[in-house]
Copies of this chain bind each other. A is one copy, B any other.
Amino acid sequence: MPETAPAPRSAAWETLAAVMCDVRALGGAVSLLQWDQETFMPAKGAVARGDQLAAVQAALHERLTQPRVAEALDLAEREASGDPDRAAALRALRFDHERAARVPQDLVRALAQAQAEGVDAWKAARNARAFALFAPKLARLVELRREQADALMPMLARRPEAQPDPGKIEPYDALLEGYEPGMRVTRLEPILRRLVGWLSPLVAAIDAAPAPEDGFLSGRFDGEAQWGFTLELLAALGFDPAAGRQDRSLHPFTLGLDPGDVRVTTRVYEAQPLSAIFSTLHEAGHGLYEQHLPGEHRRSLLCAAPSMGIHESQSRLWENLVGRSLPFWRAFLPRLAARFPQLAGVAPADFHRAVNRVERSLVRVEADEVTYNLHVALRFELELGMMRGTLAVSDLPEAWAARSEALLGVRPRDDAEGVLQDIHWAWGDLGYFPTYTLGNLYAATLFAAAGRALPGLDDAIAAGDLAPLRRWLAEKVYRVGRRKDAEDIVRDAAGVGLTDADFERYVKTKYGALYGLTL
């Protein structure tokens, strides 16, 4: 059959297409339940929400793991359809089916329930600034994740790249695989070690240089005016308001129910105007990815990003490579100043310097580009310890404080400033944080490639025209969906895969200039 012929109908494929449609739809329902839980749900709805998430996730798991899915996969994989999209969808379904089928239904339910309880306990603990209120729920989540990893490890050990020493696979790898297919501790640890290696002296050098002036960011910035500016940013980036919305939540996030229905959230602090601006830019990056996923595959598993790392590369690209650049503020500082007269006299170069202030700080989500990966290294170490059983949950606050001091040079005054700052562990996400660093690295590599491909990109950005960049990224990254693996997408777009070289060049060039350092 010639490669260009339409893919033949087949009973096995029809079965799998129906399964994928349901899996996507149930996933969308889960996303809505989660979005609502963080935005509009009344407090007393929490218990039932746990039941609802557990039941929909169980239905999804059941649909994905039915024995007839395995049978149909075996059949369909042997059929030569001549359709590369069909082949890619089958690979994605095979991967998801195997990961799901190995985890018992009871464990899936227990995890969903523990996640819902974890979020509530985390909120209470954060309010009370007391980790002890969250500890039992986290211990339970770690225990369940270890059970899950045990169930999944044989799948990883069987892979060609695990030979000849499959014993090197460890439980944390099985969790990583859920966010970043193919990523392993043995590949991640050296990258993080290398990063810490050149970042530490850089942070020390910056620390010794005079800090940029940012007094104009003090004072009160009206919350409604901030909100209005975040909506202006969303519009400028090309986030389609008919295919998504922004709401408020304690911890900003993005959930895509469908390319036509993408929910981003942000938070507004009247004393910290940069918080809403950069969290909106960050989530808008995720949101643009979701809105530009291949809608013609909306009922297939191809309508998704292949990994969290590549997803994060887009939030970081728009937040940092674009949003913390001088051209960007040439375009947008006048618009911001139109809402906040106290910024009227500030020059774009001074604003650019102020939004790139490097600080040894406590809070990851407010961290600058230079120290951010040190926050990730901290979490990675602690997660690895919890999963390896070398770090007890009860020892976490002290371990956090000690490693924070070692890596970042600062020690949290209490649990809320330290170990309770992120919601991720409350969601049961272990192995997720490293994808932030992968995102930073992919972002730098992709942005460098965009600069080569789009002459005059800086001028377009300085004129407030973000469309050329968005279109390039949509074509090279977003619209690919899950047809390729993350690293292949980056390689095809940029000519190089996972590397910290572009990130190192970007950071040293930018911060060397900003802080007058010779690096």
Cross-chain contact A45 with B257 (CB below 8 angstroms): yes
Cross-chain contact B59 with A26 (CB below 8 angstroms): yes
Report Cα–Cα, A24/B299, bound state, in Å. 27
Does A21 touch B at the CB level, under 8 Å?
yes
Residue among A47, A242, A247, A299 having the largest count of chain B Cβ atoms under 10 Å: A47
Contact partner of A52 (CB less than 8 A), chosen from B29, B47, B259, B262, is B29
Residue among A33, A45, A242 having the largest count of chain B Cβ atoms under 10 Å: A45
Cross-chain contact B43 with A242 (CB below 8 angstroms): yes
Least CB distance from A28 to B in Å reads 5
Q: How many copies does the complex hold?
A: 2
Cross-chain contact A44 with B242 (CB below 8 angstroms): yes
Report Cα–Cα, A22/B259, bound state, in Å. 29
Cross-chain contact B36 with A32 (CB below 8 angstroms): yes
Cross-chain contact A257 with B48 (CB below 8 angstroms): yes
| Cβ contacts A224-267/B at 8 Å (1 or 0 each) | 00000000000000001111110100000000011111100000
Contacts of A240 in B (CB 8 A): 44
Does A8 touch B at the CB level, under 8 Å?
no
Cross-chain contact B25 with A55 (CB below 8 angstroms): yes
Report Cα–Cα, A260/B243, bound state, in Å. 30
Report Cα–Cα, A240/B242, bound state, in Å. 33
Does A183 touch B at the CB level, under 8 Å?
no
Report Cα–Cα, A63/B58, bound state, in Å. 11
Cross-chain contact B298 with A260 (CB below 8 angstroms): no
Does A513 touch B at the CB level, under 8 Å?
no
Cross-chain contact B42 with A242 (CB below 8 angstroms): yes
Cross-chain contact A49 with B299 (CB below 8 angstroms): no
Cross-chain contact A299 with B51 (CB below 8 angstroms): yes
- Asked whether A47 and B258 contact (CB < 8 A) given A52-B25, A55-B22, A55-B25, the answer is yes
With both beta carbons as reference points, the residue of chain B lying nearest to A303 in the complex is identified as: B48
Cross-chain contact A55 with B42 (CB below 8 angstroms): no
Chain A contact residues, CB within 8 Å of chain B: 21-22, 24-26, 28-29, 32-33, 36, 40-49, 51-52, 54-56, 58-59, 62-63, 240-245, 247, 257-262, 298-299
